[in-house]
Amino acid sequence: MDARAVPTWLHAQIEYLRNNAPLPLKVENLRAGTRGGHVMDRFTVLIPCCLSNVKWEVVFNGLDAKVAPDIIFGVDDESFQPLANSSEFSPGSFLRDWTVTEPNSLLKLILVTRGSYLDYQRHRVEAVNDPRVKFEINTMSGLQGLEMCITTTSDRSEEVNFAVPLVLEVEAPHLPGSHLPSSTLWNDISLQVKFPLQRGQTSAGPPQLKLVAPPAMREVFDVDDVRLPVWPGNICLVEYIPSLQQTLQQQVREARASIALRRSFMEALFPFFGRPLEADATYCRRISLLASSGAFTFLVHLALPIQFPKVQPTLTFQSSQHFDTRGRPLVSRTYMDYPWSPRWDAPQMAQRIMDFVADECIAFKKQCNDLLHHQR
């Protein structure tokens, strides 16, 4: 963002929202209100809703800081009228008391408007004249953090969406010198449930199910690898969730055990390669080692998958003596065609990798020399 083209007071509001929002709000498409205008005073905010995002346009008057902003909602939300609510904590009350001197004013407005939007969507779902949807709402009414909405698909059909938070107790990865508790609660994994509507009614089949988790969680556990339990006939979500949580709990335990196995494997490499140049000490997913063959010195990069040791690490060599015309070090292809068995102990795994590196580095050195020869 070019802060010089944004009024100082508005820049402060946007930066506060970006740095302090309790939800993953995103500001994008910052622009001027007129063609060729020099004051950038409007932008798009992506608002999390039912594990997807809705886009709202926020419009300020860049020439007058005292004027409260307008918010333009999507074309499918024309019936959403948050200003009709005159309660003390409604969006209308925040707009009436708008003050730009408080840097959190925009964030407060967005959050309270999102709360009104979730209430609006819940009322829409409750108005669906379908026994199955009504039954699901009644049985899940006590779930904390439950969100629901109606969305329109690309073919203009509608579907009822539920976002069900899942709480798992998992062991925290061991960190040297850490005094953190050995277990913690994960509540970042959610189940997205979609009931397609046809003429206002749901079908008799199972709903569409998808696990959703933050990208940062992929370092220790990838929800895309989870095989969801089969939907067993005529049950409701409240009956399905316990078996899903049990499945997740087991796979999270395996992921936690994999961290310990990866750490043991990485430590088994030290007697063969020495101390690493770089290593991921938290999740043990990456390690870089220095190796040599005669006068040829090179780096060995290992990437350890979450499914280790069932899935073997990938190896890449990087020369410290050969560079391309742009000054970048030459690297090898990615290796996975070396002897491996998940049943070996860590020292044997390390020994086999060392043997492979000792043999393959000769071909890699020749490849580097050939490439340099062709560059001349």
Q: Which residues contact 135 (CB under 8 A, 6 or more apart)?
A: 236
Sign of the torsion formed by the C-alpha atoms of 67, 73, 75 and 79: negative
> Contact, 33 vs 64, CB < 8 A?
no
Q: Could you tell me the mean pLDDT of each successive run of 10 residues in the chain, 376 residues long?
A: 73 94 93 81 94 93 88 89 77 84 92 94 91 89 88 84 83 48 61 84 80 78 81 85 86 83 95 94 92 94 92 95 90 95 96 96 93 77
CA distances 166 to 137, 150, 174, 308, Å, are 17, 21, 23, 25
> Contact, 307 vs 300, CB < 8 A?
no
Rg (CA), the chain: 27
Beta-ladder partners of 279: 287
| Confidence (pLDDT) at 171 | 59
| Confidence (pLDDT) at 3 | 45
**Does an H or E element contain 368, and which?**
helix 346-375
Long-range pairs for 218-224 at CB < 8 Å and ≥24 separation? 218/306, 219/282, 219/283, 219/285, 220/173, 220/255, 220/256, 220/259, 220/283, 220/306, 221/251, 221/252, 221/255, 221/306, 222/306, 223/189
- What phi and psi, each to the nearest 5 degrees, are found at residue 181? -60, 155
| Residue whose entry in the numeric block shows the structure tokens 């802060």 | 3
Q: Output the six-digit token pair for 225.
A: 């690898």
Sign of the torsion formed by the C-alpha atoms of 174, 179, 183 and 184: negative
Q: What is the spatial distance between Cα 92 and Cα 108, in angstroms, rounded to a whole number?
A: 12
Q: What is the spatial distance between Cα 270 and Cα 263, in angstroms, rounded to a whole number?
A: 11
